[in-house]
């Protein structure tokens, strides 16, 4: 198939892999190509794409799947994302042959059980907070019995993250900046290897876990990557989320999350203090007083 056009720069930058380059399109193409080839290097030696169905979960505007379509066209490819602009662009430019659909904040999707032989997700579970277990179980449902899931996470192998203490004994599943807007990247979720094996391992066999490199070279830039096989049976979100018995690091993880929430509140309070002491806040004080009086009059009985 001919090379598809590049997405608009806003969609290129949305996925966050351009590293503020002056040529984000070049980096976008390079990273997507590297990541597709990394996925292929993690598949079983006997793997063939012939007659396979592949899902790019959190595909954005197709950074990775565009290379899959050109390099390994014998499979059937699907992509989904929560971002309407990305899905609209894919429908206009890559579909067909790509099948695309938009997801909501929470599953389920309308796809059938066991539909995919390969599911991959780059930089998705690094941001899912409350819905992580529901989406992990949805991928379990969608994956064929002998299928493979390849998912990136952030945390294993990482010992520092700015001024925040991180590490195998601290993280568990630790949410940094839980209240940050999605337009600014959303929350950042750190995982420990022991936590992944304990919690994700209830529904999936972790075939391989390549730990992140703190130096962050491409194509993962410090993220870790897991190769998963689904365990037979059905599971609930509560089963995945429950504390590991007799695991003291579970408490450390809870305390780390409380510390993250406290930092978030303190940062918000400081931002409010700075704004309320600013020149513009003082200048608009009379207008706010008038607006308050008008609201009170509007709400008083006649």
Each residue's pLDDT tens digit, 184-207:
677 899 999 999 999 999 999 999
pLDDT at residue 302, rounded to an integer: 46
Please give the torsion angle defined by the CA atoms of residues 177, 164, 216 and 19, in that order, rounded to the nearest 10 degrees.
40
Nearest-5° Cα angle at 165, 162 to 167: 110
Do 192 and 156 meet the contact criterion of CB atoms below 8 Å apart? yes
The residue extents of the domains of the chain are 9-256, 260-299
**End-to-end Cα, the chain, rounded Å:** 72
pLDDT at residue 78, rounded to an integer: 98
Which residue(s) pair with 203 in the sheet?
none
pTM: 0.86
Which residue(s) pair with 148 in the sheet?
118
What does the pLDDT look like over 56-110, one tens digit per residue?
Answer: 999 999 999 999 999 999 999 999 999 999 999 999 999 999 999 999 999 999 9
The answer regarding whether domain 9-256 maps to CATH 3.30.465.10 reads no
Residues 6+ apart with CB under 8 A from 37: 67
Residues 6+ apart with CB under 8 A from 90: 59, 61, 62, 79, 98, 100
Across the chain, which distance is largest between two alpha carbons, in Å? 81
pLDDT at residue 76, rounded to an integer: 98
Residues of the chain under the 70 pLDDT cut: 1-2, 16-21, 183-184, 263-276, 278-285, 287-289, 291-296, 298-302
């Amino acid at each position: 198939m001919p090379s598809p056009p590049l997405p608009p720069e806003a969609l290129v930058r949305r996925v966050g892999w351009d590293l503020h380059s002056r040529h984000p399109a070049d980096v976008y193409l390079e990273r997507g190509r590297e990541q597709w080839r990394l996925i292929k290097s993690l598949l079983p030696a006997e793997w063939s794409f012939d007659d396979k169905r592949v899902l790019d979960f959190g595909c954005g505007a197709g950074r990775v799947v565009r290379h899959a379509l050109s390099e390994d066209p014998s499979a059937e490819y699907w992509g989904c994302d929560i971002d309407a602009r990305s899905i609209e662009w894919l429908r206009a430019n890559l579909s067909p042959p790509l099948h695309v659909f938009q997801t909501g904040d929470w599953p389920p999707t309308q796809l059938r059980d066991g539909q995919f032989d390969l599911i991959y997700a780059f930089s998705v579970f690094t941001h899912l907070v409350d819905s992580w277990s529901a989406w992990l179980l949805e991928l379990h449902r969608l994956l064929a019995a002998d299928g493979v899931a390849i998912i990136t996470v952030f945390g294993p192998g990482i010992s520092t993250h700015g001024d925040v203490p991180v590490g195998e004994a601290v993280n568990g599943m630790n949410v940094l900046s839980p209240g940050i807007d999605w337009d600014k990247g959303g929350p950042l979720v750190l995982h420990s290897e022991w936590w992944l094996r304990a919690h994700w391992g209830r529904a999936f066999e972790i075939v391989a876990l390549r730990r992140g490199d703190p130096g962050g070279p491409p194509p993962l830039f410090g993220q870790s990557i897991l190769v998963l096989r689904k365990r037979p049976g059905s599971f609930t979100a509560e089963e995945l989320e429950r504390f590991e018995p007799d695991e003291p690091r579970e408490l450390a993880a809870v305390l780390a999350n409380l510390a993250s929430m406290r930092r978030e509140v303190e940062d918000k309070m400081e931002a409010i203090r700075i704004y309320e002491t600013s020149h513009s806040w003082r200048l608009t004080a009379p207008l706010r007083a008038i607006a308050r009086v008008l609201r009170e009059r509007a709400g008083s009985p006649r």
